[in-house]
Structure 1
Amino acid sequence: CSSDLKEAFFIRFRRWWRGVNIFQKAYIFLPINDDNHWSLVIICVPDEEDESGPIILHLDSLGLHCSRSIFHNIKSLLIHEWKYLKEDNGALDIPMPDRVWKFLPRRIDEKIITVPRQTNDYDCGLFVLYYMERFIKEAPYRFKRQHLSMFGKNWFKPQEASSLRGKIKSILQEKFRKAPSGENSIWKPVCLSANAQMDKSRDQVNIS
């Protein structure tokens, strides 16, 4: 892939966070989808007192995705953004030491995270959601290397992540139950999945 193509891809990709300095954020969550499987990347940005650079974490409930390739792509993305900000703005409010920011490409760390594994072939999306939920609840204000101990095979029980299916189902059923009826209702279903059936006589959706 030529440098021009990489630059064009980066310009299109950064529209997602246009107007936002991602290096000012403590955490950036990137769900990864490839080959019908979901995994999660968490970019942890250090604070001004930390001499280390950003840490890229990869959490995969089946270990199917190539972490090396993902790390390469995410690191390349961060370096492109770093170059863009340096060229576009001379002085930036970056929450990390100047000596770290100056040599950022050499200070980005990577870590494959050991996490609880799903026990079937279809709960990867639920695990990604649950990884984010647990991390948001338990992570410190700014992540440091010593906080890696929060993870592990026993971080939570696999059935806790799988149980999100029932919770999401209950939320959707409650939303549909409380939704106003009528032609102008935003909750009026248009397209149903294979697991949803329409009761046309009552204009309701039963999700199984």
Structure 2
Amino acid sequence: MEACRRSNRKRKPSEKARKNTSTSSWIIEDVPDYKERDQELEMISDGFTITQQINRKLNSDQFDIILENMWNDFSIEKKNLFKYLDCLWFDMYMTQETKPKVLKWIKKENIFSKKYVFVPIVCWGHWRLLILCNFGEFIQSQTQCPCMLLLDSLNSSDPKTIEPNIRMFLRDIFREENTEEIADSVANIPLLVPKVPQQQNSEDCGIFVLYYINLFMQSAPEDLSIIESYSNIMNENWFSVEGLETFWNEICTSI
């Protein structure tokens, strides 16, 4: 999961700089600014105190910071299996004006040299995770054939509505690399939607995607028959609510 080229976004500004600069123009409008905080009143014996909680609905800058911090915690050996794309690249690809830039950036990264590629997707104010598996293995075999996993913490939103956009995205990546024959085969690559733990509110989708990445990196082996065996790694009981909350309490301090 090598860090790919950034999308010309500023890194997390200092406290002084935050007062004088606005957030990146590429931050999705439906995802709130990280300066926003939920406030709750807590009754105490001698009156009220106001405690502040970090808004759990992550924007792209928050997501990016947490992902980089997570990445740095993994060993070099583990990271050699993975790559990840900038969390805004898919959304930028969907915009005609920025599509050519995104495809050129991806071409330079040689993403399919890795076993697994994480593609965070934030569209319509909702986060999903696409995992490209074995895409360097286009010689058909029973154990190493490529496939895609789409992880969605809100399956009621019908994850496969985005499938045409995903396949178009991959076809254009291969065409940019002048591999037209492989681009034509994208339609035959399975897109699987595993049953994974679901969010219980309207805010936690970004946290779920980060936790999906964290747990998948911990458990995914070097050689995996992903079509047959992915359910051994992820399912409805993949993690508990307590595990997710512990993860959130640890990562929220970085933003």
What is the TM-score normalised by the length of structure 2? 0.52
Question: Which runs of at least 4 in structure 1 moved beyond 3 Å after TM superposition?
Answer: 5-10, 46-50, 100-103, 169-172
Q: d(CA) in 2 for partners of 1:34 and 1:86? A: 28
Residue identity over aligned pairs, in percent, reads 29
Give CA-to-partner distance per residue, 1:66-121, whole Å, 9 cap, x none.
Answer: 42232211111111122222369xxxxxxxxxxx9486224311011110112333
Q: What secondary structure does 1:155 align onto?
A: coil
Q: d(CA) in 1 for partners of 2:96 and 2:122? A: 22
Is the aligned partner of 1:148 residue 2:230? yes
Cα 1:87/1:42, change in 2 over 3 Å? closer
The match for 1:160 among 237, 240, 243 is 243
Give CA-to-partner distance per residue, 1:162-190, whole Å, 9 cap, x none.
Answer: 32221024456xxxxxxxxxxxxxxxxxx
What is the TM-score normalised by the length of structure 1? 0.63
The match for 1:112 among 169, 193, 196 is 193
Q: d(CA) in 1 for partners of 2:247 and 2:235? A: 20
Cα 1:44/1:87, change in 2 over 3 Å? closer
Q: d(CA) in 2 for partners of 1:70 and 1:102? A: 18
Matching residue's letter, 1:54: P
| Match in the other structure for 1:25 | 114
Cα 1:102/1:58, change in 2 over 3 Å? closer
Is the aligned partner of 1:138 residue 2:219? yes
| Match in the other structure for 2:208 | 127
| Match in the other structure for 1:97 | none
Provide structure 2 residue ranges, at least 5 long, that are not aligned to the other structure: 1-93
Equivalenced residue count is 157
| Match in the other structure for 2:128 | 39
Provide structure 1 residue ranges, at least 5 long, that are not aligned to the other structure: 89-99, 173-208
List aligned pairs for 1:1-208, cutoff 5 A.
Answer: 10-46=99-135, 48=137, 50-51=140-141, 53-86=145-178, 101=182, 104-143=185-224, 144-149=226-231, 150-171=233-254
